[in-house]
Chains A and B, each alone.
Chain A
Amino acid sequence: MENILEIRNLRVTFHTDNGVVRALNGVDLKLRDGETLGLVGETGAGKTTLAKSVMRLISPPQGRIDAGEILFGEVDILKASQADMLSIRGNKISMIFQDPMSALNPVITVGEQIAEVIREHESLPSKEAWDKALKMLSTVGITADRAGDYPHQFSGGMKQRVVIAIALACNPTVLIADEPTTALDVTIQAQVLEMMAELKKKTDTATIIITHDLGIVAQMCESVVVLYAGEVVESGPVRDVFKKTAHPYTIGLLGAIPKIHLDEHRLHPIHGLMPDPMAPPEGCSFHERCDFADESCALNHPELRIIGDSHSVRCPKAVSR
């Protein structure tokens, strides 16, 4: 399969009064056509910065993309003109934001918010855009008679459906869903995830799901990229990463979650904290928290290397299992 989106050596910094935050430090990522990719990591790993870079929503002067390429077909998004970006953003690449409460405009009806996107990108007459908006609503499981309602008249789960309808309104080739169900209750999350999986089957939109929930990755995604302190530490097919876990951080993450299907008496936390993004450590960014680290880990910054069929890991000690 062809790569529909390819990120190469992406470096993003934020310049604050207190110093320079190194948000992304040379990230590589490939999204194949029709694939669902999970992007996981904890708070501050750089997940949302990555998504915003693809949408080119990193705002200067604080935010700076210092290096890298984001190839979307023939276009390098980082070099695209403002006009080109307008035709890409929300149209060919669209995004679902985490918090449906704040992603919607409270004073515009939901139908109008969907129709607006369609009018903007597809130059359809108003009436046809509205009809398409109603169709999108029913696609996400909301009856058309609610199109005239305002966001506050919907529950959290329904609002997130509206946000998804907006994101899918122009049949994007790439969909980025940033923690799409984090704000929702678990039975509502199950509804929304099922709907997303159904829509995926129909439209085959290549999707990046950003999440901190490894359960969602295991159940929804084909491949996974694990971010730690602004770097990819492990990536590959979901089965390889979950079953032949190679990076000590990924091993730690999987060990730290309480297992619903297993009995265990003690959790295995990762000791310590994520490094200060203003002063990342020398050598491997994880070595201070790593159970396997030795002196060389504090000196040498490891490169991402392939250890199996498209399974890569940024750790010299990791072996293919």
Chain B
Amino acid sequence: MTEGGAMQKGDALLDVRGLKKYFATPRGPLQAVDDVSFSILKGETLGVVGESGCGKSTLGRTILRLYEPTGGEIFFDGQDIASYDKKRLKKLRTEMQIIFQDPYSSLNPRMTVSQAIAAPLVLQGIFKKNDRLGIDARVGELMDLVGLARRFVNSYPHELDGGRRQRIGIARALSLKPKFIVCDEPVSALDVSIQAQILNLMQDLQGEFGLTYMFITHDMSVVKHISDDIMVMYMGRVVERAKPGSLFAAPLHPYTRALLSAIPIADPDVKIRKEILKGEISSPVNMGPECRFIGRCPDFTPACIDKAAEEKEVEPGHFVSCVKYDA
């Protein structure tokens, strides 16, 4: 099993090894996350990209123990949290948080902004339920932090636009002063002008509090902008990991290449030679060791069926799982 790249283990806030999450289906196990290993350094952002059904959201939720892992280890701050019981998990929730994609459905429509932000504070016993003054002060502080005007304190989610709702989601995630936040497509539901506001806010907060992010998205340009490291997933497996610079300049895996060339660039003078993939992503049910990309791969060889490609470090910090790069 590969260690988390060239990183020093001591520096990693999160170190995931051989993580698996399978779901039972009538046709056999759906291998949503299958033998995934990586680490994230303190204060850095790991971007996780891939298309619908690649397992990126399942990965984020399994790390937070919102799903029970089928196998593997999750070291958070040196502790293997994969085996934590409920009581220890509740305490862990103050350190690990999540921001969801859809600010329209992740907020309770019957709770005001203040109630939504205060809920984690009361649940975790940081404030007593009747400590109105304490709660109001902290809620106000959090609203200032995420740029949500205090006049919205008693508004309901339906009265606010998507950008403001996502600011509530961020304030909630920050309320417990976590070290680590899984950001699951936090800007995908937003218009570009608002998306830029939220991305800048998230970067500012990271700088201010030394936050570590796992940023899940399907948008390659967003992931390039926000990440220190990028991990590309396909059907439950990691196909490539690298710094944004080397991933975008020299993508190695055939899937990454196709993914990058598929992005329409907002410049009429930049024409990219498109590598159009055939077929579509399917579900990783009952898979053997073979490469998951064989059905669509332009570089397919018989060797791809026989064995799983091991992850190899082709250049320092640039990992790829493809038999093409087997020595």
Contact = CB atoms under 8 A, between A and B. Distances in A.
B220 to A, nearest CB: 6
Contact of A212 (B192, B263, B267): B192
B122 to A, nearest CB: 31
A254 B268 CA distance: 12
A304 interface: no
B42 interface: no
A269 B193 contact: yes
Contacts of A261: 265, 267, 270
B224 A238 contact: no
A264 B225 CA distance: 8
B78 interface: no
B259 A187 contact: yes
Contacts of B260: 260
B196 A260 contact: no
A243 B262 CA distance: 22
B6 to A, nearest CB: 22
A119 B161 CA distance: 44
By size class, the interface of chain B is: 35 or more
A238 B268 contact: yes
Interface in B237-254: 248
A304 B197 CA distance: 29
B51 A187 contact: yes
A186 B276 CA distance: 10
Nearest to A186: B262
Contacts of A242: 266-268
Given A243-B269, A258-B199, A218 B193 contact: no
Interface residues of A, number: 45
A267 B198 CA distance: 10
Contacts of B196: 255-258, 267-270
B7 interface: no
Contacts of A316: none
Given A42-B192, A270-B193, A273-B161, A186 B51 contact: yes
Nearest to A45: B191
B276 A194 contact: yes
B154 interface: no
Given A157-B280, A188-B280, A267-B200, A260 B262 contact: no
Interface string A189-232: 11101100000000000000000111111111000000000000
Given A267-B196, A267-B225, 16 more contacts: A43-B191, A186-B218, A187-B259, A215-B264, A218-B264, A218-B265, A218-B270, A220-B264, A252-B193, A256-B192, A258-B221, A258-B224, A260-B220, A260-B265, A270-B196, A273-B163
21 contacts: A42-B191, A42-B193, A158-B280, A185-B52, A188-B280, A190-B261, A193-B264, A215-B263, A215-B264, A217-B266, A219-B265, A239-B269, A243-B268, A252-B193, A253-B193, A258-B221, A260-B220, A266-B200, A267-B225, A270-B193, A273-B163
